[in-house]
Amino acid sequence: ANAYVERFVENVDRSKIITASSVMIDKPLVVRLWKEGPEGVIRKMKQRNLTVLPVVDANNVLLGEVRLNDLLQLRKEQTKSIDSVVRHEVHSVLADTVIEDILPLMTKTNSPIWVVNEEREFQGTVPLSSLIIEVTGKDKTEINEIIKNAIDL
């Protein structure tokens, strides 16, 4: 039975059937606007080795994202609010968006793709690495090897 199923799905284009909800990280780290300052957000990012985080309001509505470089500049300027560095133009999709429709966004951003519902309430994060894994069918180890080989060239 397993061999039959394997043969049946071997030529299926996964990007047309896999959705954002199936590859997203739910309940990821977020920044709450007006509740957190640059210092706290920098600390969170460094603990998890992240360079970008989604920003939500008190109702969990996605407002944008912040980047570590911008927060470090705020710290240098001794600014206490992150409001000035929130990037409001971000890429977000609904949970049922198929990977095929998310892939073009990869070429326009170095950030994860944020997943929201119809009310723009934040649902989760689709890391760019997850998109690559789903489309290529390779695991993280194989992708890291490809990257290493490309760098060595």
Q: Measure the CA–CA gap between 17 and 64, rounded to whole angstroms.
A: 28
Per-range mean pLDDT, top range of 2-6, 22-26, 55-59:
55-59
- End-to-end Cα spacing for the chain: 43
For residue 121, what are the β-bridge partners?
61
Is pLDDT larger for residue 24 or for residue 60?
Answer: 60
Q: Where are the domains of the chain?
A: 14-152
Residue 42: pLDDT above 90?
yes
Half-sphere exposure of 13 (CA within 13 A, CB side): 6
Residue 99 CB neighbours (<10 A): 22
Which range has the worst mean pLDDT, 34-48, 61-75, 123-137?
123-137
pTM, whole model, 2 decimals? 0.78
Is pLDDT larger for residue 42 or for residue 143?
Answer: 42
Say if domain 14-152 classifies as CATH 3.30.420.10.
no
